[in-house]
Amino acid sequence: MGSDATLRWFRHAELKHGRVAMAAMVGFLVHINHIHFPGMLSTTYGISFESLSNMGPFDAWNAIPLLGQIQILWTIAGLEHASESLNPQGHYMKTGTPGDIKFLKKFYWGLGASKLSPAELAKKRESELKNGRLAMIGIASVCSAMAIPGSVPLLTGAPVLTGAAFALPFGTF
């Protein structure tokens, strides 16, 4: 039903969505456990990191000043652009490797990846795929449980997903 380029496109999308889901789950777990930086996010608006950690995730996002939200979205857009066009091997649908972000080598955890044997690297890549798939299921379950109470039986009545901070008005999606 598709070519090798199509398969590389699907694999890149799976890796990218898995990485986003892993970041989302870590962020969600950090937030609901009230782990936060010390100090102020914005002295101009009087917003502390502690006050954000006491809000629900949607309220916390809405409490971040507009310039802060723009910075977050601009960083995400920059990473997206870089993953699509700055790969020295070429685009992943032509000559590059799906999910390859070696251009960020100075900034991400994979500094030692070049020292791995091909077998170790293949094992780590498979592990990343599996963890990403699990994170996608996890964050989808949390979103479902928050939007439709009782839709995820395992999370029914979970104290971290109840309360006014997690209530969404009907039709806000």
- Classify residue 12: in a domain, yes or no: yes
Question: Which residues on adjacent β-strands are paired with residue 48?
Answer: 40
Burial of 132 (0-12, 13-18, 19+ CB in 10 A): buried
Amino acid at 21: A
Q: At which residue do the structure tokens 């498979």 appear?
A: 126
> What confidence score (pLDDT) does residue 173 get?
43
The structural domain count of the chain equals: 1
Query: Roughly how many angstroms between the first and final C-alpha of the chain, as a whole number?
Result: 33
Residues 134, 14 contacting (CB under 8 angstroms): no
Beta-carbon contacts of residue 132 (< 8 Å; ≥ 6 apart): 14, 15, 17, 18, 19, 21, 22
Residue 55 lies in a domain: no
CATH code at 88? Answer: 1.10.3460
The answer to the question of residue 121 being in a domain is yes
User: What range defines the domain where residue 117 resides?
Assistant: 4-33+65-166
User: What is the pLDDT at residue 170?
Assistant: 44
- CA–CA gap between residue 93 and residue 85 (Å, rounded): 11
Mean pLDDT, each 10-residue run in order, the chain (173 residues)? 79 88 89 87 91 83 93 88 69 66 58 70 88 93 79 70 51 44
Contact, 69 vs 61, CB < 8 A?
yes
Q: What is the pLDDT of residue 74?
A: 94
